[in-house]
A and B are shown apart, each in its own frame.
Chain A
Amino acid sequence: MANQSRRNFLKTSALIGAGLTGVSSKPAKAAPNNILDENRMGVLVDTTVCIGCRKCEWACKTAHNLSAQSIESYNDRSVFKNMRRPDDKTLTVVNEYAAKGDDQFPVDVKVQCMHCDKPACVSACIVGAFSKEKNGSVIWNGDRCIGCRYCMVACPFQVPAFEYGKAIQPEVRKCDFCFDRTKDGKLPACVEICPMEVLTYGRREELIDLAHQKISLYPDRYVNNVYGEHEVGGTSWLYLAGRDFHELQFPKLGTNPAPGVSEAIQHGIFAYFVPPIALYALFGGVMWLNKNRKQDEHKEANHE
Protein backbone atom coordinates (compact mmCIF):
# COMPACT_ATOMS: atom_id res chain seq x y z
CA MET A 1 0.00 0.00 0.00
CA ALA A 2 2.77 2.35 1.03
CA ASN A 3 4.54 1.40 -2.18
CA GLN A 4 1.60 2.28 -4.27
CA SER A 5 1.03 5.71 -2.79
CA ARG A 6 4.67 6.64 -3.17
CA ARG A 7 4.56 5.58 -6.77
CA ASN A 8 1.48 7.66 -7.35
CA PHE A 9 3.17 10.55 -5.69
CA LEU A 10 6.21 10.17 -7.86
CA LYS A 11 4.19 10.09 -10.99
CA THR A 12 2.17 13.04 -10.01
CA SER A 13 5.29 15.00 -9.27
CA ALA A 14 6.68 13.97 -12.60
CA LEU A 15 3.60 15.29 -14.29
CA ILE A 16 3.62 18.52 -12.40
CA GLY A 17 7.34 18.87 -13.05
CA ALA A 18 6.86 18.35 -16.71
CA GLY A 19 3.90 20.69 -16.79
CA LEU A 20 5.69 23.45 -14.96
CA THR A 21 8.72 23.45 -17.18
CA GLY A 22 6.64 23.28 -20.29
CA VAL A 23 8.36 20.12 -21.53
CA SER A 24 5.80 17.79 -22.98
CA SER A 25 6.11 14.37 -21.46
CA LYS A 26 3.87 11.46 -22.27
CA PRO A 27 1.02 11.31 -19.79
CA ALA A 28 1.01 8.64 -17.12
CA LYS A 29 -2.56 7.81 -16.41
CA ALA A 30 -2.77 4.91 -13.99
CA ALA A 31 -0.66 3.07 -11.46
CA PRO A 32 1.40 0.26 -13.00
CA ASN A 33 -0.10 -3.19 -12.77
CA ASN A 34 1.76 -5.46 -10.45
CA ILE A 35 -0.50 -8.46 -10.20
CA LEU A 36 0.68 -11.76 -8.77
CA ASP A 37 -2.08 -14.14 -9.75
CA GLU A 38 -1.83 -17.62 -8.32
CA ASN A 39 -2.58 -19.10 -11.75
CA ARG A 40 0.09 -17.10 -13.53
CA MET A 41 1.85 -18.94 -16.27
CA GLY A 42 5.51 -19.64 -16.79
CA VAL A 43 7.94 -21.65 -18.85
CA LEU A 44 10.24 -24.38 -17.64
CA VAL A 45 13.40 -24.41 -19.77
CA ASP A 46 15.17 -27.76 -19.67
CA THR A 47 18.64 -26.89 -20.91
CA THR A 48 19.65 -30.56 -20.93
CA VAL A 49 17.30 -31.13 -23.86
CA CYS A 50 18.06 -28.06 -25.96
CA ILE A 51 19.98 -28.75 -29.17
CA GLY A 52 20.69 -25.14 -30.04
CA CYS A 53 18.70 -25.17 -33.28
CA ARG A 54 17.72 -21.53 -32.70
CA LYS A 55 14.25 -22.02 -34.10
CA CYS A 56 13.00 -20.13 -31.06
CA GLU A 57 14.99 -17.10 -32.13
CA TRP A 58 13.45 -17.25 -35.57
CA ALA A 59 9.90 -17.71 -34.25
CA CYS A 60 10.30 -14.86 -31.79
CA LYS A 61 11.40 -12.48 -34.50
CA THR A 62 8.67 -13.56 -36.86
CA ALA A 63 6.01 -13.18 -34.19
CA HIS A 64 7.21 -9.67 -33.35
CA ASN A 65 7.61 -8.39 -36.90
CA LEU A 66 11.36 -8.05 -36.44
CA SER A 67 13.21 -8.77 -39.64
CA ALA A 68 14.28 -12.40 -39.60
CA GLN A 69 16.40 -14.25 -42.12
CA SER A 70 15.26 -17.49 -43.73
CA ILE A 71 14.57 -20.31 -41.30
CA GLU A 72 17.34 -22.43 -42.82
CA SER A 73 19.94 -19.78 -42.11
CA TYR A 74 19.38 -20.39 -38.41
CA ASN A 75 21.16 -23.74 -38.75
CA ASP A 76 24.38 -21.74 -38.78
CA ARG A 77 26.14 -22.66 -35.58
CA SER A 78 29.04 -20.27 -35.99
CA VAL A 79 27.09 -17.64 -34.01
CA PHE A 80 27.91 -19.67 -30.92
CA LYS A 81 31.50 -18.50 -31.09
CA ASN A 82 30.48 -15.38 -29.21
CA MET A 83 28.23 -15.06 -26.22
CA ARG A 84 25.21 -13.00 -27.19
CA ARG A 85 22.66 -11.02 -25.23
CA PRO A 86 19.08 -10.24 -26.16
CA ASP A 87 18.88 -6.82 -27.78
CA ASP A 88 16.32 -4.57 -29.37
CA LYS A 89 16.28 -6.61 -32.58
CA THR A 90 16.54 -10.08 -31.04
CA LEU A 91 14.41 -10.56 -27.97
CA THR A 92 15.77 -14.01 -27.26
CA VAL A 93 19.12 -15.62 -28.01
CA VAL A 94 20.57 -19.07 -27.54
CA ASN A 95 24.13 -19.39 -26.28
CA GLU A 96 26.24 -22.52 -26.35
CA TYR A 97 28.67 -23.72 -23.69
CA ALA A 98 31.24 -26.33 -24.71
CA ALA A 99 30.78 -29.96 -23.76
CA LYS A 100 32.70 -31.08 -20.73
CA GLY A 101 33.31 -34.78 -21.20
CA ASP A 102 33.91 -36.81 -24.37
CA ASP A 103 30.49 -38.37 -24.38
CA GLN A 104 28.60 -35.24 -23.46
CA PHE A 105 26.82 -32.70 -25.60
CA PRO A 106 27.43 -28.98 -25.45
CA VAL A 107 24.89 -27.12 -23.33
CA ASP A 108 22.62 -24.64 -25.09
CA VAL A 109 20.86 -22.00 -23.06
CA LYS A 110 18.05 -19.79 -24.31
CA VAL A 111 18.06 -16.31 -22.79
CA GLN A 112 15.19 -13.84 -22.60
CA CYS A 113 13.32 -11.80 -19.98
CA MET A 114 12.67 -13.93 -16.90
CA HIS A 115 9.30 -12.32 -16.17
CA CYS A 116 10.06 -11.80 -12.51
CA ASP A 117 7.35 -12.13 -9.88
CA LYS A 118 8.73 -8.98 -8.26
CA PRO A 119 10.03 -7.26 -11.37
CA ALA A 120 12.67 -4.63 -10.82
CA CYS A 121 11.77 -3.02 -14.13
CA VAL A 122 8.21 -2.42 -12.96
CA SER A 123 9.38 -0.84 -9.73
CA ALA A 124 12.08 1.19 -11.38
CA CYS A 125 9.91 2.68 -14.06
CA ILE A 126 8.84 6.09 -12.80
CA VAL A 127 5.96 6.49 -15.23
CA GLY A 128 4.51 2.99 -14.91
CA ALA A 129 5.33 1.91 -18.44
CA PHE A 130 6.03 -1.62 -17.23
CA SER A 131 3.44 -3.91 -15.73
CA LYS A 132 3.24 -7.45 -14.40
CA GLU A 133 0.10 -8.95 -15.91
CA LYS A 134 -2.27 -11.54 -14.53
CA ASN A 135 -0.87 -14.29 -16.76
CA GLY A 136 2.66 -13.70 -15.52
CA SER A 137 3.95 -11.55 -18.40
CA VAL A 138 5.94 -8.43 -17.67
CA ILE A 139 5.15 -6.07 -20.52
CA TRP A 140 6.06 -2.58 -21.61
CA ASN A 141 3.77 0.18 -22.77
CA GLY A 142 5.31 2.54 -25.31
CA ASP A 143 2.73 5.26 -24.75
CA ARG A 144 4.03 5.94 -21.29
CA CYS A 145 7.77 5.44 -21.66
CA ILE A 146 9.81 8.61 -21.42
CA GLY A 147 13.00 6.82 -22.39
CA CYS A 148 14.77 7.24 -19.06
CA ARG A 149 16.20 3.72 -19.19
CA TYR A 150 15.89 3.16 -15.46
CA CYS A 151 14.53 -0.29 -16.28
CA MET A 152 17.76 -1.25 -18.00
CA VAL A 153 19.76 -0.34 -14.94
CA ALA A 154 17.38 -2.01 -12.54
CA CYS A 155 16.92 -5.37 -14.26
CA PRO A 156 19.10 -7.98 -12.52
CA PHE A 157 19.28 -9.93 -15.79
CA GLN A 158 20.11 -6.98 -18.04
CA VAL A 159 17.23 -7.68 -20.32
CA PRO A 160 15.49 -4.48 -21.46
CA ALA A 161 17.20 -3.10 -24.54
CA PHE A 162 16.93 0.35 -26.03
CA GLU A 163 16.64 0.99 -29.72
CA TYR A 164 19.77 3.10 -29.88
CA GLY A 165 19.88 2.69 -33.62
CA LYS A 166 16.51 4.26 -34.07
CA ALA A 167 16.24 8.03 -34.15
CA ILE A 168 12.51 8.56 -34.14
CA GLN A 169 10.61 7.19 -31.18
CA PRO A 170 13.20 4.73 -29.96
CA GLU A 171 11.58 2.06 -27.82
CA VAL A 172 12.59 -0.18 -24.98
CA ARG A 173 12.31 -3.75 -26.23
CA LYS A 174 12.31 -7.04 -24.44
CA CYS A 175 10.59 -10.40 -24.54
CA ASP A 176 6.93 -9.77 -23.76
CA PHE A 177 6.09 -13.44 -23.16
CA CYS A 178 4.17 -13.09 -26.39
CA PHE A 179 1.43 -11.23 -24.60
CA ASP A 180 -0.49 -10.62 -27.81
CA ARG A 181 -0.49 -14.31 -28.65
CA THR A 182 -1.31 -15.69 -25.20
CA LYS A 183 -4.15 -13.20 -24.94
CA ASP A 184 -5.73 -15.00 -27.89
CA GLY A 185 -5.14 -18.42 -26.36
CA LYS A 186 -2.05 -19.14 -28.45
CA LEU A 187 1.24 -20.39 -27.09
CA PRO A 188 4.29 -18.11 -27.00
CA ALA A 189 5.95 -18.36 -30.40
CA CYS A 190 9.17 -19.88 -29.09
CA VAL A 191 7.31 -22.46 -27.03
CA GLU A 192 5.23 -23.43 -30.03
CA ILE A 193 8.08 -23.96 -32.44
CA CYS A 194 10.67 -25.64 -30.23
CA PRO A 195 11.13 -29.12 -31.74
CA MET A 196 12.44 -30.64 -28.52
CA GLU A 197 9.91 -29.09 -26.17
CA VAL A 198 12.75 -27.65 -24.18
CA LEU A 199 10.21 -25.01 -23.22
CA THR A 200 7.26 -26.32 -21.25
CA TYR A 201 4.48 -23.77 -20.88
CA GLY A 202 2.23 -24.11 -17.87
CA ARG A 203 1.11 -22.72 -14.54
CA ARG A 204 4.21 -21.59 -12.65
CA GLU A 205 3.29 -23.63 -9.58
CA GLU A 206 2.82 -26.76 -11.64
CA LEU A 207 6.11 -26.17 -13.44
CA ILE A 208 7.98 -26.00 -10.15
CA ASP A 209 6.48 -29.34 -9.13
CA LEU A 210 7.38 -30.77 -12.51
CA ALA A 211 10.93 -29.49 -12.23
CA HIS A 212 11.45 -31.09 -8.84
CA GLN A 213 9.90 -34.30 -10.06
CA LYS A 214 12.33 -34.41 -12.97
CA ILE A 215 15.24 -33.82 -10.62
CA SER A 216 14.18 -36.65 -8.35
CA LEU A 217 13.56 -39.05 -11.25
CA TYR A 218 16.87 -38.25 -12.95
CA PRO A 219 19.26 -37.13 -10.22
CA ASP A 220 22.25 -37.83 -12.49
CA ARG A 221 20.94 -35.61 -15.22
CA TYR A 222 20.20 -32.44 -13.27
CA VAL A 223 21.80 -30.35 -10.58
CA ASN A 224 19.43 -30.12 -7.65
CA ASN A 225 18.36 -26.54 -8.25
CA VAL A 226 15.56 -24.87 -10.15
CA TYR A 227 16.86 -21.49 -11.24
CA GLY A 228 14.15 -18.90 -10.90
CA GLU A 229 12.21 -20.66 -8.17
CA HIS A 230 13.58 -18.30 -5.53
CA GLU A 231 15.98 -15.95 -7.34
CA VAL A 232 15.02 -12.30 -6.86
CA GLY A 233 11.76 -13.39 -5.31
CA GLY A 234 10.93 -15.90 -8.05
CA THR A 235 10.58 -15.67 -11.83
CA SER A 236 8.01 -16.98 -14.30
CA TRP A 237 10.70 -18.51 -16.48
CA LEU A 238 12.44 -21.36 -14.70
CA TYR A 239 15.51 -23.34 -15.67
CA LEU A 240 16.82 -26.86 -15.21
CA ALA A 241 20.43 -27.66 -15.98
CA GLY A 242 22.95 -30.46 -15.79
CA ARG A 243 25.71 -28.24 -14.49
CA ASP A 244 26.12 -25.51 -12.00
CA PHE A 245 24.12 -22.50 -13.20
CA HIS A 246 27.05 -20.24 -12.56
CA GLU A 247 29.05 -22.02 -15.26
CA LEU A 248 26.25 -21.19 -17.68
CA GLN A 249 26.45 -17.49 -16.85
CA PHE A 250 23.30 -17.31 -14.80
CA PRO A 251 23.90 -14.46 -12.37
CA LYS A 252 24.20 -15.45 -8.73
CA LEU A 253 21.32 -13.58 -7.12
CA GLY A 254 19.81 -13.67 -3.69
CA THR A 255 16.24 -14.53 -2.94
CA ASN A 256 15.31 -10.96 -2.10
CA PRO A 257 13.36 -9.20 -4.80
CA ALA A 258 15.59 -6.90 -6.80
CA PRO A 259 13.12 -3.96 -6.59
CA GLY A 260 14.76 -3.23 -3.26
CA VAL A 261 17.71 -2.04 -5.29
CA SER A 262 15.80 0.31 -7.51
CA GLU A 263 13.68 1.60 -4.68
CA ALA A 264 16.88 2.54 -3.00
CA ILE A 265 17.61 4.80 -5.94
CA GLN A 266 14.32 6.56 -5.37
CA HIS A 267 14.88 6.69 -1.64
CA GLY A 268 18.27 8.18 -2.34
CA ILE A 269 16.67 10.99 -4.28
CA PHE A 270 14.61 11.88 -1.25
CA ALA A 271 17.49 11.43 1.15
CA TYR A 272 19.42 14.24 -0.48
CA PHE A 273 16.30 16.37 -0.56
CA VAL A 274 16.47 17.09 -4.21
CA PRO A 275 12.95 18.21 -4.93
CA PRO A 276 11.52 15.69 -7.37
CA ILE A 277 9.94 18.46 -9.42
CA ALA A 278 13.28 20.03 -10.15
CA LEU A 279 14.79 16.65 -10.90
CA TYR A 280 12.21 15.72 -13.45
CA ALA A 281 12.27 19.10 -14.97
CA LEU A 282 15.97 18.54 -15.54
CA PHE A 283 15.49 15.04 -16.89
CA GLY A 284 12.73 16.16 -19.15
CA GLY A 285 14.80 19.01 -20.49
CA VAL A 286 17.79 16.79 -21.25
CA MET A 287 15.65 14.29 -23.00
CA TRP A 288 13.85 16.86 -25.02
CA LEU A 289 17.13 18.28 -26.20
CA ASN A 290 18.41 14.83 -27.02
CA LYS A 291 15.35 13.95 -28.96
CA ASN A 292 15.56 17.08 -31.01
CA ARG A 293 19.20 16.57 -31.76
CA LYS A 294 18.61 13.02 -32.88
CA GLN A 295 15.75 14.09 -35.08
CA ASP A 296 18.00 16.68 -36.66
CA GLU A 297 20.72 14.11 -37.23
CA HIS A 298 18.15 11.87 -38.80
CA LYS A 299 16.99 14.57 -41.13
CA GLU A 300 20.55 15.34 -42.13
CA ALA A 301 21.27 11.70 -42.73
CA ASN A 302 18.23 11.54 -44.97
CA HIS A 303 19.34 14.51 -46.99
CA GLU A 304 22.72 13.05 -47.80
Chain B
Amino acid sequence: MTASQSPRQRVVDLAFLDARSKLIDLAAFLDRVDRHPGSEDYRVAALKSALVELSGNEPDRARRVLEALSDPTEEPAPRAETQGATGAWRPPETCSPS
Protein backbone atom coordinates (compact mmCIF):
# COMPACT_ATOMS: atom_id res chain seq x y z
CA MET B 1 0.00 0.00 0.00
CA THR B 2 1.35 3.46 -0.88
CA ALA B 3 0.23 6.94 0.15
CA SER B 4 -0.66 7.83 -3.46
CA GLN B 5 -2.93 4.83 -3.93
CA SER B 6 -6.63 5.56 -4.27
CA PRO B 7 -8.93 3.69 -1.87
CA ARG B 8 -10.48 1.88 -4.82
CA GLN B 9 -7.09 0.69 -6.03
CA ARG B 10 -6.18 -0.35 -2.51
CA VAL B 11 -9.19 -2.65 -2.05
CA VAL B 12 -8.58 -4.23 -5.46
CA ASP B 13 -4.91 -4.81 -4.64
CA LEU B 14 -5.81 -6.32 -1.27
CA ALA B 15 -8.49 -8.74 -2.36
CA PHE B 16 -8.34 -9.39 -6.11
CA LEU B 17 -6.39 -12.64 -5.98
CA ASP B 18 -8.63 -13.99 -3.23
CA ALA B 19 -11.77 -13.12 -5.24
CA ARG B 20 -10.28 -14.63 -8.40
CA SER B 21 -9.46 -17.83 -6.56
CA LYS B 22 -13.00 -18.10 -5.17
CA LEU B 23 -14.53 -17.55 -8.60
CA ILE B 24 -12.44 -20.34 -10.12
CA ASP B 25 -13.32 -22.61 -7.19
CA LEU B 26 -16.99 -21.97 -7.90
CA ALA B 27 -16.55 -22.73 -11.60
CA ALA B 28 -14.69 -25.93 -10.78
CA PHE B 29 -17.44 -26.93 -8.32
CA LEU B 30 -20.10 -26.59 -11.03
CA ASP B 31 -17.92 -28.61 -13.47
CA ARG B 32 -17.44 -31.29 -10.80
CA VAL B 33 -21.19 -31.60 -10.24
CA ASP B 34 -21.85 -31.81 -13.99
CA ARG B 35 -19.33 -34.61 -14.53
CA HIS B 36 -21.88 -36.89 -12.87
CA PRO B 37 -25.27 -37.75 -14.35
CA GLY B 38 -28.46 -36.83 -12.54
CA SER B 39 -30.99 -34.09 -12.05
CA GLU B 40 -30.18 -30.64 -10.74
CA ASP B 41 -29.92 -30.39 -6.96
CA TYR B 42 -32.08 -27.55 -5.60
CA ARG B 43 -29.03 -26.04 -3.88
CA VAL B 44 -27.02 -25.91 -7.10
CA ALA B 45 -30.02 -24.43 -8.92
CA ALA B 46 -30.28 -21.76 -6.22
CA LEU B 47 -26.57 -21.00 -6.51
CA LYS B 48 -26.87 -20.53 -10.28
CA SER B 49 -29.89 -18.26 -9.84
CA ALA B 50 -28.02 -16.15 -7.32
CA LEU B 51 -25.05 -15.80 -9.68
CA VAL B 52 -26.95 -13.33 -11.84
CA GLU B 53 -26.66 -10.85 -8.96
CA LEU B 54 -22.90 -10.65 -9.61
CA SER B 55 -23.04 -9.66 -13.25
CA GLY B 56 -24.65 -6.22 -12.95
CA ASN B 57 -23.31 -2.98 -11.57
CA GLU B 58 -25.95 -2.48 -8.88
CA PRO B 59 -24.66 -2.15 -5.29
CA ASP B 60 -25.54 -4.49 -2.38
CA ARG B 61 -24.67 -7.66 -4.31
CA ALA B 62 -23.92 -9.58 -1.10
CA ARG B 63 -27.32 -8.69 0.33
CA ARG B 64 -29.10 -9.71 -2.86
CA VAL B 65 -27.25 -13.05 -3.07
CA LEU B 66 -28.16 -13.79 0.54
CA GLU B 67 -31.79 -12.87 -0.13
CA ALA B 68 -31.85 -15.08 -3.23
CA LEU B 69 -30.78 -18.05 -1.09
CA SER B 70 -33.27 -17.29 1.72
CA ASP B 71 -36.64 -18.74 2.66
CA PRO B 72 -39.06 -16.10 1.35
CA THR B 73 -42.07 -17.30 3.41
CA GLU B 74 -43.26 -15.36 6.45
CA GLU B 75 -45.36 -17.63 8.66
CA PRO B 76 -43.79 -19.79 11.41
CA ALA B 77 -43.38 -23.42 10.35
CA PRO B 78 -45.77 -25.86 12.02
CA ARG B 79 -42.86 -28.04 13.14
CA ALA B 80 -39.14 -28.62 12.54
CA GLU B 81 -38.51 -31.38 10.00
CA THR B 82 -34.80 -31.21 10.74
CA GLN B 83 -32.52 -29.22 13.06
CA GLY B 84 -30.06 -28.17 10.37
CA ALA B 85 -30.01 -25.78 7.43
CA THR B 86 -28.72 -26.58 3.93
CA GLY B 87 -27.80 -23.15 2.63
CA ALA B 88 -30.59 -22.75 0.08
CA TRP B 89 -34.34 -22.62 0.38
CA ARG B 90 -36.12 -25.63 -1.06
CA PRO B 91 -39.37 -24.64 -2.76
CA PRO B 92 -42.16 -27.04 -1.67
CA GLU B 93 -43.00 -28.18 -5.21
CA THR B 94 -39.52 -29.65 -5.70
CA CYS B 95 -39.67 -31.78 -2.54
CA SER B 96 -39.57 -35.47 -3.32
CA PRO B 97 -42.69 -37.38 -2.15
CA SER B 98 -42.23 -39.29 1.09
A binds B: no
Q: Which residues of A contact B (CB under 8 A)?
A: none
Q: Which residues of B contact A (CB under 8 A)?
A: none
